[in-house]
Amino acid sequence: MALVIIQARMDSTRLPGKVMMKIRGKPLLYYVINQIRGSCFKPNIIVATTNLSNDDIIASFSESQNVEIFRGSENDVLDRFYQCTKKFNGNTIVRICADSPFIDYNLIDECFTKFEESNIDYLSNTIIKHGETWKEDQNGYPLGTAVEVFSFDTLEKAWKESKSPYEREHVTDYIIKHPKIFRLDSVQNFEDFSHYRIVVDYKEDFELANKIINNFPEENRFSIQQVISFLKKSTN
């Protein structure tokens, strides 16, 4: 079974509570879920949050949207993902962060399809190969459109082998740093939008997201091209 796991928590360092901050009366998390629901392969969507009482609001909202919820470790996010995947019997995992209200369902489908058709362990649109190593790179995509796809076996190996607190907090760090163990691949955008920022990390990001969403009809799903087209017009 394919799972899309949305990583979410209230205690964000830069903008606390951002995932439940509202635009048009709906929290940011709603827009992330709505975007993913546009995917053609109709994955099982799960919100993976912490056991902290602060995150009860995330769990309650997710359930109100008929989305599965998993609660686990606050800091060992790798364990949270592993235990979540085991509980819901996932064999392919798509990882999305809850600060990405414009995550493109078309991009999710592209990444998932390439992963399924290739003999690889991990694929993302935010890494690129340099010699024998892989490094973070936007690959022409705007910040806030990261998609990662990996197998359960890959996740399990990383869960067993990752030792440092950084590796435990950052789910796929161990995978990317060990290309001799894992088969990695990436996708690149046909046009360079990497200088655009549509992630929500700061108050200014939220204000921009508010502006974008209010420019489109309600219940709209956003493609990267639509968002960038609007941003180009609004800055001219």
CA 205 → CA 14, 66, 150, 155, 233, distances in Å?
11, 28, 29, 31, 18
Record the tokens describing residue 144, joined without a space: 């806030």
Task: Look at residue 234 and tell me whether its pLDDT is greater than 90.
Answer: no
What is the chain's mean pLDDT, rounded? Answer: 96
The 10 Å Cβ neighbour count of residue 160 is 10
pLDDT digits (tens, 9 = 90+) for 46-103: 999 999 999 999 999 999 999 999 999 999 999 999 999 999 999 999 999 999 999 9
pLDDT digits (tens, 9 = 90+) for 121-165: 999 999 999 998 999 999 999 999 999 999 999 999 999 999 999
Q: Do residues 1 and 90 make contact, with C-beta atoms less than 8 angstroms apart?
A: yes
| DSSP string for 78-104 | HHHHHHHHHHTT-SEEEEEETT-TT--
Question: Whole-prediction pTM value?
Answer: 0.96
Between helices 224-235 and 203-215, what is the axis angle to 10°?
Answer: 100
CA 136 → CA 125, 129, 140, distances in Å?
9, 9, 12
**CATH code for the domain defined by 2-235:** 3.90.550.10
- Per cent of the chain over pLDDT 70 is 100
Record the tokens describing residue 119, joined without a space: 């003999």
Angle at 150 between CA 226 and CA 153, to 5 degrees: 165
Record the tokens describing residue 87, joined without a space: 């509980």
Task: Look at residue 212 and tell me whether its pLDDT is greater than 70.
Answer: yes
Q: Do residues 3 and 85 make contact, with C-beta atoms less than 8 angstroms apart?
A: yes
Task: Look at residue 236 and tell me whether its pLDDT is greater than 70.
Answer: no
Q: Which 8-state DSSP code applies to residue 66?
A: T
Mean pLDDT computed over 103-107 = 98
d(CA 38, CA 16): 28
Nearest to 114 by CA among 106, 221, 200: 106
Nearest to 97 by CA among 19, 26, 20: 19
